[in-house]
């Protein structure tokens, strides 16, 4: 599933093509996504796109009438193509623009969504989300305070969207390794100083992934079809059984919350 950096890269790719364009039509070929595409999506027609932003893993296309809320699910992708481009299999929705181009949503597994809300911040999918990790609202002090008396593994804790959004499995693995924190350690037993270090590494890892175009794993590629390159700099994720880059001991691989977790038993405490 695309994580925060991949979604941000997608936002950066489509934003120049959408901002200030008028939506001339919304063509829904198949409304059967994770939730049915609502008929209210047609309220976008005739509206000018004010901005394209991201909240957690959701893309928000803002107009004065309301906001389109997009999620790419496990296999969704976006392309900006000329209006005359024939639809391919799994091209479920087109948002046509006054520029003569359109934003096309392709989703083979149909686990993504396209919704509409006049007040998106109050939508049930967004209302309870924690802060964005690359803002000043997120820091180690917040992690420390929210973690007190938490017995769950720290990896699960930092992946809780009410704590901080967008720290998905890949980037949780990488951030914990770089901070030297064992992913199975109880969240409530980690000190403030270690959380300050962890928060800093979360920011650094996510920023680096965005800069390198995301991490290409299975379905993800950038809006122009090119791959992301952060996978080439992964320290632990996908490397279970291989030598640690720091101590050369074998990396361990376990399941934490049904997610693959790779760590170094020597470097992470």
Give me the catalytic one of 2, 5, 120, 133.
2
Is 54 flagged in the annotation as binding? no
**Catalytic residue status for 3:** yes
Bridge partners of residue 27, in order along the sequence: 94
Structure tokens, 39? 């008929």
Would strands 58-63 and 51-55 be described as parallel, antiparallel, or unpaired? antiparallel
Query: Which one is catalytic: 34, 110, 252, 259?
Result: 259
Q: Is 155 a catalytic residue?
A: no
From 90, 70, 110, select the one nearest 29 (Cα to Cα). 90
Q: Is 259 an annotated catalytic residue? A: yes
Judged by DSSP in three states, 118 sits in coil
Mention every residue, 6+ apart, whose C-beta is less than 8 A from residue 71: 34, 57, 58, 59, 112, 113, 125
Is 89 designated active site? Answer: no
Q: How far apart are CA 149 and CA 156, in angstroms?
A: 14
Question: What Å distances lie between residue 21 and 16, 100, 118, CA to CA?
Answer: 10, 10, 19
H or E, element range at 82: strand 77-82
55 is in an annotated binding site: no
Q: Which of 11, 54, 57, 104 is catalytic?
A: 57
Q: How many other CB atoms are there within 10 angstroms of residue 243's CB atom?
A: 12
Q: Facing residues of 52 across strands?
A: 61
Query: What does the block give as tokens for 177?
Result: 């390794």
Residue 185 is assigned to a ligand binding site: no
The Cα–Cα gap between 152 and 188 comes to 8
Closest by alpha carbon to 41, among 67, 21, 10? 67
Contact 94, 38 (CB under 8 A): no
| Active-site amino acid positions | 2-3, 57, 259
Query: Which segments are annotated as binding site?
Result: 90, 109, 150
Query: Which segments are annotated as binding site for DNA?
Result: 90, 109, 150
């Amino acid at each position: 599933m695309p994580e925060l950096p991949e979604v941000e890269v997608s936002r950066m790719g489509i934003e120049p093509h959408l901002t200030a364009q008028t939506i001339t039509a919304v063509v829904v070929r198949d409304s059967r996504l994770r939730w049915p595409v609502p008929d209210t999506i047609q309220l976008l027609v005739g509206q000018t796109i004010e901005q394209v932003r991201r909240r957690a893993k959701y893309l928000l296309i803002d107009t004065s009438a309301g906001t389109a809320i997009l999620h790419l699910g496990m296999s969704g992708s976006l392309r900006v193509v000329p209006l005359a481009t024939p639809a391919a299999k799994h091209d479920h929705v087109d948002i046509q623009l006054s520029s003569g181009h359109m934003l096309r949503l392709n989703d083979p597994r149909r686990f993504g969504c396209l919704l509409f809300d006049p007040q998106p911040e109050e939508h049930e999918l967004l209302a309870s989300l924690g802060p964005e990790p690359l803002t000043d609202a997120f820091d180690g002090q917040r992690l420390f305070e929210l973690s007190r008396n938490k017995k769950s593994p720290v990896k699960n804790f930092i992946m809780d969207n009410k704590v901080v959004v967008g720290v998905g499995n890949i980037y949780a693995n990488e951030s914990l390794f770089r901070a030297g924190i064992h992913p199975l350690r109880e969240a409530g037993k980690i000190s403030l100083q270690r959380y300050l270090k962890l928060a800093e590494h979360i920011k650094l890892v996510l920023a680096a992934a965005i800069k390198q175009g995301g991490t290409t794993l299975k379905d993800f590629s950038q809006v122009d079809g090119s791959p992301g390159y952060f996978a080439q700099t992964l320290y632990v994720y996908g490397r279970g059984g291989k030598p640690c880059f720091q101590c050369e001991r074998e990396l361990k691989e376990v399941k934490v919350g049904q997610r693959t977790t790779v760590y170094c038993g020597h470097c992470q405490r």
